Amino acid sequence: MNEFRNIGLFNGKELNDSGRSAISGNIEDIGKFKIAALRNVAVTAPYMHNGMFKTLREVIDFYNDPGKVVPNAINRDSILAKPLGLTDQDKTDLEAFLNSLTDNRFTKK
């Protein structure tokens, strides 16, 4: 997958990694980063391009309401314009699903 999205982790201040635009030179790419696959996501912490989230639950909380974590994000994708409104049970279920995407055959030493 070679898709890039701005999930709201660029505000031009403390979060100032401009992402894809540094390569493309396109102002529309500011704050866009490559979307990662979810396979084995439970063992790939820390999360996000800058490692700002240590747990899957932190990632889920972010996506539930990105504006709460980064209120002044620049060019955040419109698919994240409104909070998801996940309940605590929804978040627990989503975390369990993400954990199920880990193939333990590749994580055993």
Question: In this predicted structure, what is the pLDDT of residue 2?
Answer: 76
- pTM here is 0.88
Q: pLDDT tens track of the chain, all 109 residues?
A: 679 999 999 999 999 999 999 999 999 999 999 998 899 999 999 999 999 999 999 999 999 999 999 999 999 999 999 999 999 999 999 999 999 999 888 666 5
Contacts 24+ apart (CB under 8 A), 27-33: 28/75, 29/4, 30/6, 30/74, 30/75, 31/6, 31/73, 31/74, 31/75, 31/76, 32/4, 32/5, 32/6, 32/75, 33/4, 33/5, 33/6, 33/7, 33/9
Please state which architecture CATH assigns to domain 4-106.
Answer: Orthogonal Bundle (1.10)
Per domain, the residue ranges of the chain are 4-106
